[in-house]
Amino acid sequence: MTEVASPLQGTVVAVLRAPGDLVREGQGLVVVEAMKMEHVVPAPSSGAVHAVLVEVGSRVERDEVVVTIGPAVGSDQAAAEEPLDAGRAGPEDAPDLVELKRRRRLLTDEGRPEAAARRREQGRRTVREELDDLLDPGSLTEYGGLALAAQRARRSQEELEQRTPADGLIAGIGRVDGHPTAVLAYDYSVLAGTQGVVGHLKTDRFLEVVHRLRLPTVLFAEGGGGRPGDTDHPVVSGLHTTSFALWAGLGGVVPRVGIVGGRCFAGNAALLGCCDVIIATRAATVGMGGPAMVEGGGLGTWTPEEIGPVHVQAANGVLDVVVDDDASAVAVAKQVLGLLRAPLPAGAEPPGACADQTAMRSVLPVGPARSFDPRVVLDLLADTGSVLELRSAFAPGMVTALARLDGLAVGVLLNDSRFEAGALTSDGCDKAARFLQLCDAFDLPVVSLIDTPGIMVGPEAEQTALVRHSSRLFAVGATLTVPVVAVVLRRAFGLGAQAMMLGSTRTPLMTLAWPSAELGPMGVEGSVRLAMRRELAALPSDEARRARVEELSEQVRERGKAVPVATAFEIDDVIDPAETREVVLSVLRSAPRPPPGRERKRLLDTW
């Protein structure tokens, strides 16, 4: 005879077997409740129930015998096959699981076909389609997916479930090309992508997780800003919301990439403006106040498309990259994430193919005063197809680009002589200084390709606060921690050249020049006219003065050529243009990589 004891003290709430019943090993005999939890006492072996020593309501002690089991003599009848918890629904049919599946379906495009259809009729993708394109398949782990808008006083539960899934904000962790990445995506099909009370709570919680995990984050920012219609939480000013501070606090800690493909106003625009790189489609419009706010301020009636259209926001520097459609925006976001991710150990990057470097010898115009598009130099220098230019429509005389050199992610500065002759303007200096901060924050080495006559001069230039703006390059350069290599392609004159070198020819790890390059304290002809002012004034005619200026300029030009400058050891070396990639890579790969997991080094400006 086998005695079966209770494993704990409690009260018998169910007797599952009667004397004579056949049982299999593991089937329940009685149920004992303790601390509001029910514990099934199982049969230790197969057999027939001999006696049941307790009844419902009985108090039992630990190790007290509750049932005895004997052999099943004279019968080979199998024990009943009912599950341990008889009467409980199977896993697929459990009501709570069925309800969960129903609610989760409402988060998908299939669960909201009308909303998805409206989006596609507009030629746009749904936010779920955007995330499916960005993230590796099946990799999204969502936070707060079951959240609903705080509008229970205005809408029924059914309407909230149908019209406000996730409170219009998808927050989660997935993978992009195998790398963990966070996403915050406003859903314009839910209350115009506005920011609700619950959505802000989700944002706050999620951004704390992002900070702890140090995950690069992609923000899909399309939406109308703060939502006035939430009723469930008492809000007066709403100024206590911490989402903006938390998002801004990630600056310089993790890469933040913003994407906007439609209307983006107010709070959504404030989040977008904090992003390190902003990508917009040509159909986007971005503004700190939407039409209702503008009209409410007495500033007239405007359509959304008239407030901050792309051609305005690209030219003024708000947008970094402008693309044709949603799919292109996601593709660029992936490229940015790949370039800004924590660098691999030296030599671990996959090698990159490049163009024939001998073509570098013929990229400069024949005449030293002839302007040209310098991107041909950048495209030759970088791995094929790796160049991503930022803010191309803003301050076009200063080119800023992310690229790869044999797999190594780098930032590149480059002067464009087609605009103000490549002189540094206030906008150009701001553009370059902020770009250098971006490179420094995410440990990208910098290559500065120089072709400048100096800092822009004249009364109009000074009206732009040029003194302050041009000094930003010196200030940022003095605190830069990433390796820098400077290459003088053609002209390097005055303070503008020093600013492109972040201080002087001694600031970069190496300062190089091409053989035909010219260097000097200012432009050749200007320096001659300034130094020889009295002699020139004494000459009898303008023709004589011009001839003398040309003669002296040629002498100064010869002294300022790259080789004489290198002979005086004011630069480190003069190289064959075809050697540029090889030499730059050699220097950059000699620099130690930063240790992972560091805290932010300093503020990364939004401008």
pLDDT tens string 566-603: 999 999 999 999 999 999 999 999 988 776 655 665 67
pLDDT tens string 127-162: 999 999 999 999 999 999 999 999 998 999 999 999
Instruction: Tell me how far apart the alpha carbons of residues 500 and 496 are, in angstroms, rounded to a whole number.
Output: 6
Maximum separation of any 2 CA atoms in the chain, in Å: 139
* Cα-Cα-Cα-Cα dihedral sign, residues 221, 257, 607, 326: negative
Q: Check residue 79 and give its pLDDT.
A: 53
pLDDT tens string 489-534: 999 999 999 999 999 999 999 999 999 999 987 665 666 566 667 7
pTM for this entry: 0.86
Q: Does residue 393 carry a pLDDT above 50? A: yes
Q: Is 596 exposed, middle or buried (0-12, 13-18, 19+ CB in 10 A)?
A: exposed
Q: And the tokens for 18?
A: 């009667």
The DSSP H or E segment spanning 511 is strand 510-513
The DSSP H or E segment spanning 498 is helix 494-500
Q: And the tokens for 565?
A: 């400058």
pLDDT (average), residues 251-255: 92
Instruction: Tell me how far apart the alpha carbons of residues 448 and 169 are, in angstroms, rounded to a whole number.
Output: 41
pLDDT tens string 320-350: 999 999 999 999 999 999 999 877 666 667 7
Tell me which of 85-99, 275-289, 430-444 is least confident: 85-99
Q: Check residue 528 and give its pLDDT.
A: 56
- Extract the runs of DSSP E, i.e. beta strands, from 111-249: 141-143, 169-176, 179-186, 217-220
Give me the amino acid identity at 565: V
Q: Does residue 271 carry a pLDDT above 70? A: yes
Q: And the tokens for 150?
A: 């705080």
Q: Does residue 77 carry a pLDDT above 90? A: no
Q: Which residues contact 433 (CB under 8 A, 6 or more apart)?
A: 472, 473, 475, 476, 605
What would you report as the CA-atom Rg of the chain, rounded to the nearest whole angstrom? 35
Instruction: Tell me how far apart the alpha carbons of residues 84 and 80 are, in angstroms, rounded to a whole number.
Output: 11
Q: Which of left, alpha, beta for 83 (phi over 0: left; psi -120 to 50: alpha)?
A: beta
* Cα-Cα-Cα-Cα dihedral sign, residues 155, 158, 162, 164: positive
